[in-house]
Amino acid sequence: MATGLKKAVQVRAMLADDLSAAHGLSREQQWPHREQDWTRMLELGQGVVAESEGAIVGTTMWWTFENGFATIGMVIVSNAVQGMGIGRQLMEAAFADIGDRTVLLNATDEGLRLYRSLGFEPIGSVYQHQGAAFSVPIAELIPNERVAPMKVGEVPDITRLDQDATGIDRTRVVDYLCDHAQGVVLNRDGDQAGYALFRRFGRGYAIGPTIAPDIGGAKALITHWLGSNAGMFCRLDVPDDSGLSSWLDELGLPCVGRVTRMCRGTPPQRGATVRAYSLINQALG
């Protein structure tokens, strides 16, 4: 049966017209993405679908970056046809385009075995925190520090901070997100020291990326968004070593899931001055 199905499955480029069916697959997994979230991700990258008898039964997307990196996400195979080699076919189609770039992804437990067999190694974890009935923290700013709305002219500086924090040249993605999100900048002694974006995503809003010089700066940025959106459903995906998880729990944004950060190739080297305290999302990293 598996061999018969494999023959009948065609893997081809993902088109905008496929996104309604792709959204059906993420809903089947009880992932929160709206169709518009899929659209945004396809505008920023590319994907493949697995098609069987005219139905979309699997998806994989990827985003390539200028300095030798790529991320993979939205890897889904419909429940009815899992375990038949379709996930592997989709990943191999992505690798054909990604070439020899280092690839990063955030793996669910279901995906771990597939990714390990394709050469990915675990490099950490990411905690998913979310909720609506959170208490608003008090901003604890240090002297000469302020959080202010992002100005258009600040985007190049923000992009440099982002690359320092991640080791990845995400210029195109950051530019795009700045057009589709609200942003605030952490200013210290008159210089841009960090930033955080806030945008519609899934069931409510996502706060990310959050790029800051230290945990105090990260909390100041996140506090801005929580304070101005009390009671709204907000989500943050934070690296395990960010130190933010227990703070978010205490605020009433509990941890509802964990994924494994994995890397295939040499991991990016981030700079010493800033780091990422929350992701854009699990797919883009």
Ligand X SMILES: CC(C)(COP(=O)(O)OP(=O)(O)OC[C@H]1O[C@@H](n2cnc3c(N)ncnc32)[C@H](O)[C@@H]1OP(=O)(O)O)[C@@H](O)C(=O)NCCC(=O)NCCS
Site residues (vs ligand X, CB under 6 A): 29, 75-77, 82-88, 107-108, 110-111, 113-114, 117
- The minimum distance between CB 202 and ligand X, in angstroms, equals 15
- The minimum distance between CB 101 and ligand X, in angstroms, equals 18
Given the structure tokens 């700066």, which residue do they identify? 217
In terms of CB distance, is 21 or 132 closer to ligand X? 21
Which residue in 127, 102, 113 sits closest to 282, CA to CA? Answer: 127
Q: How far is CA 194 from CA 154, 163, 180, 229, in A?
A: 11, 12, 19, 20
In terms of CB distance, is 86 or 253 closer to ligand X? 86
Phi, psi of 57 (to 5 degrees): -115, -5
- The minimum distance between CB 58 and ligand X, in angstroms, equals 7
Q: How far is CA 210 from CA 44, 129, 285, in A?
A: 19, 14, 12
> Is-contact 120 263, C-beta < 8 A?
yes
Distance CA 166, CA 211 (A): 9
By beta carbon distance, the residue nearest ligand X is: 87
- The minimum distance between CB 56 and ligand X, in angstroms, equals 13
Distance CA 115, CA 88 (A): 9
- The minimum distance between CB 232 and ligand X, in angstroms, equals 27
Determine if the peptide bond prior to 32 is cis (ω within 30°). Answer: no
First to last CA, the chain: 36
In terms of CB distance, is 105 or 155 closer to ligand X? 105
Which residue in 282, 207, 209, 213 sits closest to 251, CA to CA? Answer: 207
In terms of CB distance, is 98 or 212 closer to ligand X? 98
- The minimum distance between CB 75 and ligand X, in angstroms, equals 4
Contacts of 249 (CB under 8 A, 6+ apart): 129, 255
- The minimum distance between CB 31 and ligand X, in angstroms, equals 8
In terms of CB distance, is 72 or 181 closer to ligand X? 72
> Token pair for residue 47?
């994907």
In terms of CB distance, is 86 or 221 closer to ligand X? 86
In terms of CB distance, is 51 or 164 closer to ligand X? 51
